[in-house]
Amino acid sequence: MTFFTKTTSSEYRLPIPDPRSPTTDPRPPTKQMTSLIVLGTANRKKSREMADLLAPVGIELKTLADFPNAISVVENGETFAANATLKAVKQAEHLGRWVLAEDSGLMVDALAGAPGVYSARYSGEDADDASNNRRLLDELGDTPLEKRTARYVCHMVLSDPSGTVRVESEASCRGRILTEPRGTGGFGYDPLFELVEYRRTFGESDPLVKAVLSHRARAARLLIPQLIGLVIDA
């Protein structure tokens, strides 16, 4: 018999043996998931957002900043899924840890899906949020508002220490790109990305709104049941 420790309504830990059970477990050994996951990103704002989204799982989370020997993974995939997998698998194999990585970006319909996987470096190798936003506005030029439709996409991948992908999810959030930034919240293209139904950009929205409606929040909601399943069934 096995008991599970549960410290909150949604927090599970590794199974612990029932002292009344026989010492010999007839079940074959399984690879257990640890109660620690490393978030495979060096982006502090992204790490903080992911940690908040995954808090209901009750698993301890660390970031690459906690591991001085973490490697820099080349993101040369052609899709968000490919890049997220590269970051999760390579880092997990190197650190010998469970690693959760994500790749996300903005896809603008009028630009044939650009900047896409190049969202973070859209304006060059030394890109920052401001320069990326400027280039996006330049590329769209005088494109009318009704044709500035876009979507944020996020793909998440969890790899075990052997480099095997165990769970993954993908989600998106649709909106449109304004002609000038509004709001100072969030990061990336958030000040330009307007949620049409709310008439507000992510940059001027309450963080709680983003925590419900964003591409990353939606991908996390799809991932969480799988994470809990791994902890319970490990």
Q: In this model, does residue 18 exceed pLDDT 60?
A: no
Residue 42 vs residues 102, 160, 198: alpha-carbon distances, Å:
11, 19, 31
Residue 196 vs residues 11, 14, 166, 203: alpha-carbon distances, Å:
35, 43, 35, 13
Which helix or strand (DSSP H or E) is residue 54 part of?
helix 44-54
pLDDT digits (tens, 9 = 90+) for 72-109: 999 999 999 999 999 999 999 999 999 999 999 999 99
Q: What percent of the chain has pLDDT over 70?
A: 84
Burial 83-101 (b: 16+ CB within 10 A, else e): bbbbbbbbbbbbbebbbbb
Q: In this model, does residue 48 exceed pLDDT 70?
A: yes
Q: Are 160 and 98 a contacting pair, CB within 8 Å? A: yes
pLDDT digits (tens, 9 = 90+) for 107-130: 999 999 999 999 999 999 899 999
Q: What is the dihedral of CA 130, 135, 141, 143, to 10 degrees?
A: -90
Question: Is there a cis peptide before residue 115, judged by omega within 30 degrees of 0?
Answer: yes
Residue 118 vs residues 77, 78, 121, 179, 201: alpha-carbon distances, Å:
10, 9, 5, 21, 21
Give 74-128 as a DSSP string.
P---SSHHHHHHHHHHHHHHHHTS-EEEEEEEEEEGGGTT-BGGGGGGTT-TT--
pTM score: 0.81
Confidence of residue 231 (pLDDT cuts 50, 70, 90): low
For helices 44-54 and 215-233, angle between their N-to-C axes, nearest 10 degrees? 60
Confidence of residue 10 (pLDDT cuts 50, 70, 90): very low
Positions marked active-site = 103
Question: Structural domains in the chain?
Answer: 2-233 (3.90.950.10)
Report the relative pairing of strands 149-159 and 165-177 from DSSP bridges.
Answer: antiparallel
